[in-house]
Homo-oligomer: A and B are copies of this chain.
Amino acid sequence: MEETSKKIRLLSSAYKLFTTKGFNKTTIQDIVDAARVAKGTFYLYFEDKYKLQEELIINKSLEIFNEAIVELEKQNINKFDDQVIFIFDYVIDYLEKEPSILNFISKDLSLGLYHEKLINILEGKETKIYDLFIKGAKENNLKNPELTLFMIIEFVSSTIYSVLMKKIDINIKDYKKYVHEIIKDMLKIK
């Protein structure tokens, strides 16, 4: 139990720093200092800064989507459209409450990388979100479920940053309406 505490400390220190100063501006020295750990210890657990980031992205993304699924199951939502919308709404709300995550993801413009990872994670056959989506997609005769999921994720993740960071003048409510429309439209393309 004590065993992994150093790794956990490194992860959470890095998370704090990445969300605060951004990925590039965070040095390994910063991370080990914050974790009160020697520099060499970093290399005991991670190959380099990028591997740590990857682990963080995977953890955090799965956390959010899994929470979303858990919440979804508590609801009584039957239509596939609405299920998908519920999940993305959940994610949007989550990011609204904890916008520092976006800093982590995007401050150093790593959106592209993040997307790639995200897609890989969500399409990991064993994730609940993927299962749910593919099952629903089949029942709705979607021609290419992976592609549709990809498009939705791309759309939301590419716009949410600008919206939450107030780079574009729109409130969350209106933004969500847009997203709902897009999701519905996308699920119609067969």
* Chain A residues within CB distance 8 Å of chain B: 106, 108-113, 115-116, 119, 144, 146-147, 150-151, 154-155, 157-159, 161-162, 167-170, 174, 177-178, 181-182, 185-186, 189
> Of the candidates B108, B119, B146, B159, which one forms a contact with A151 in the assembled complex, judged by CB atoms under 8 Å apart?
B159
B residues in contact with A177, CB < 8 Å: 189
Task: Select which of B158, B174, B186, B189 is within 8 A of A154 by beta carbon.
Answer: B158
The answer to whether A158 and B109 touch (CB under 8 A), given A144-B170, A168-B147, A182-B182, is: no
* Closest Cβ–Cβ distance, residue A144 to chain B (whole Å): 7
| Chain B residue with the shortest CB-CB distance to A116 | B167
Majority secondary structure, A binding face: helix
Contact A181 B170 (CB under 8 A): no
Interface centre among A112, A159, A174, A182 (most CB of B within 10 A): A112
Chain B residues near A159 (CB-CB < 8 A): 150-151, 154-155
B178–A150 contact, CB under 8 A? no
In the complex, what distance in Å separates the CA atom of A161 from the CA atom of B185? 22
Query: Known interface pairs A144-B170, A182-B182. Does A162 touch B109 (Cβ–Cβ under 8 Å)?
Result: no
